[in-house]
Amino acid sequence: MLKANPKRQRLIEAAKTLFYTRGVETSSLSEIAQAAEVPPGNVYYHFKTKDALVEAVIASHGTDILDGLARLNAEGNPRARLLDFVRGGLAHKAELARYGCPYGTLCAELEKAGGSAAESATVLFPLYLHWLERQFASLGRPDAADLALDTLAAVQGAYAVTQATRTPQVLERQVARLERWITDLDAGESVSA
């Protein structure tokens, strides 16, 4: 197994933060190096281009998502896991109100710019969709794929409106609504959120 390079990892983490709070286009490699406390020349040792750093950030986000879903899997039953999923943003509601979803904003910015990074970023949300679908299927829902999409769209919509209004209460209200819906959801009956 390869040992992680601490400077490379610091650059990725700094880029993740700056891309989230400032955007990819407005975050320079020198600013990322400064935030990572790495000499600017070292950036090119680890990443030949900014695009290569963006790809590393996308891969790191994918790992973060999978790690978060693995933590949710520790919960005893699929309904509890779904409830924990929709509640997940509440711990970060101030950041969500200011910057939106780190994955959603990154995907949206990259899609506007086009290119290979935009294509690479399309792997992030399916990680959630497949996990959500498995939870609904475990509840005996024949419409598990539809419910997964409804849930992810509701959560991401709540994040977007929370950011657009800079109002964390929007997120709190939508999470409460989703909690009621998941709690009341019966097995086997087709219903959407």
pLDDT the model gives residue 121: 97
Q: What is the DSSP string of 87-143?
A: HGGGGGHHHHHHH--HHHHHHHHHHHH-SHHHHHHTTHHHHHHHHHHHHHHHTT-TT
63 belongs to a structural domain? no
pLDDT confidence of residue 75: 79
Structural domain containing residue 146: 76-184
CATH number at residue 118: 1.10.357.10
> What CA–CA distance (Å, rounded) separates 102 from 79?
25
- Helices 50-73/29-36 angle, 10° precision: 50
Q: Is 140 inside a domain boundary?
A: yes
Q: In this structure, which amino acid lies at residue 113? A: A
Q: Please give the pLDDT value at position 76.
A: 82
Instruction: Convert the pLDDT of each residue in 30-82 to its tens digit.
Output: 999 999 999 998 899 999 999 999 999 999 999 999 999 999 999 789 999 99
Selected residue with higher pLDDT from 191 and 119: 119
166 inside domain: yes
How far apart (Å, rounded) are the C-alpha atoms in residues 14 and 162?
Answer: 25
Q: Which residue has the higher pLDDT, 141 or 4?
A: 141
How many separate domains does the chain show? 1
- And the tokens for 128? 């959630």
